[in-house]
Amino acid sequence: MEKKQKIILDCDPGHDDAIALLLAARHPGLELLAITTVAGNQTLEKTTRNALSVCTLAHIRDVPVARGMAQPLVREARYASDIHGESGLDGPALPQPEREAVPEHAVDLIIDLVRSTDDVVLVATGPLTNVASAITREPAILSRLKGLYLMGGAIGLGNVSPAAEFNIYFDPEAAAIVFNSGCPITMIPLEVTHQALATPAILERLRALGRPVPSFVCQLLEFFGNTYRQVFGFTAPPVHDPCAVAALIDPTLVSQHSMYVAIETRGEYTLGRTVCDVYGVLGRRANACVGYGLDAPRFWELLIETLASYGEESASDG
């Protein structure tokens, strides 16, 4: 049996973060060491509660959840309640969390785990505030990290502004620190995630499993689909964050190209843009592998098969 890849999931649940969490906790190729939360889709209090509620629903009991940064490094927070609702996970009824977050701060936990564990991959599906803070506080972890997979940015159009994707826009200064750090980065932008559409046929496959966790995911996607239809005119919602986890599990799912990516931190109209030098015109060394294509049928097979493995008595153990 192949060795499991050890990961830390840094997230801001969030409908698609919740699905990414369920994939990361259950896939047999991964060992989820910790879940760290950050402000983004909603306040830190809400994203942390949502992570704990999802863990309760799926009986994920052996993975610590740690609270992280409550604000962007230098800017005011701008939450995504228009997409994720007031709770950050509007739609399904959420169980009361059966446990609390650990006392340790997420940034400290990231540093401690990377220092003490070989070959850890950090998967970031929210703003990069925790990641940037960990790198800034303890630069030595960069030589220990196997890599960073992140959902964020766009080669072309943004979603929170014409130029910027939400996770990068929420804390562009943090993103700039991360992209300038020298850490091996795999960036899963909107060009990839907009190919992972939860169509009615996908929802029907989830519903047909007749189990609590896939049914919960179906309810998440129904709410998410309604907001995406109202705000963006999508006929089916894109499932952004699980794409970053799936790209780590099976890199052949995502077509990628190495390039230099700069983060715009000053533009009047372009704040938070990931400036992707696709053609190498800047003459700068590549600092990221940037995805641009997704094998959507195989992505959905991987995700649905993993969600189906949560039985009536879901458990992350074993």
CA 14/CA 90 separation, integer angstroms: 9
What's the pTM value of the predicted model, to 2 decimals? 0.96
* Average pLDDT, integer, range 64-77: 97
Which residues neighbour 277 within 8 Å (Cβ) at sequence distance 6 or greater?
Answer: 259, 260, 261, 262, 284
CA angle (43, 274, 303) in 5-degree steps: 65
Encode pLDDT of 159-196 as tens digits: 999 999 999 999 999 999 999 999 999 999 999 999 99
Domains of the chain by start residue, with CATH: 5-309 (3.90.245.10)
257 is catalytic: no
Encode pLDDT of 233-276 as tens digits: 999 999 999 999 999 999 999 999 999 999 999 999 999 999 99
Terminal Cα distance for the chain, rounded: 14
- pLDDT of 1 > 80? The answer is no
- pLDDT of 203 > 90? The answer is yes
Q: How confident is the model at residue 312 (pLDDT cuts 50, 70, 90)?
A: low
Q: Is 83 helix (H, G, I), strand (E, B) or coil?
A: helix
Q: Which helix (H) or strand (E) holds 277?
A: strand 274-277
Encode pLDDT of 84-136 as tens digits: 888 889 899 999 999 999 999 999 999 999 999 999 999 999 999 999 999 99
Which of 59, 194, 240, 257 is flagged as catalytic? Answer: 240
Which residues neighbour 100 within 8 Å (Cβ) at sequence distance 6 or greater?
Answer: 52
Buried b (16+ CB within 10 A) or exposed e, 197-228: bbeeebbebbeebebbbbebbbbbbbbbbebb
14 cis-preceded (ω within 30 degrees of 0):
yes
CA 256/CA 189 separation, integer angstroms: 11
- pLDDT of 316 > 60? The answer is no
Q: Any idea which of 46-55, 146-155, 181-190, 217-226 has the lowest mean pLDDT?
A: 217-226
CA 21/CA 30 separation, integer angstroms: 12
Tell me the two tokens of residue 300.
């959905």
- pLDDT of 318 > 60? The answer is no
Encode pLDDT of 14-42 as tens digits: 999 999 999 999 999 999 999 999 999 99
- pLDDT of 81 > 90? The answer is no
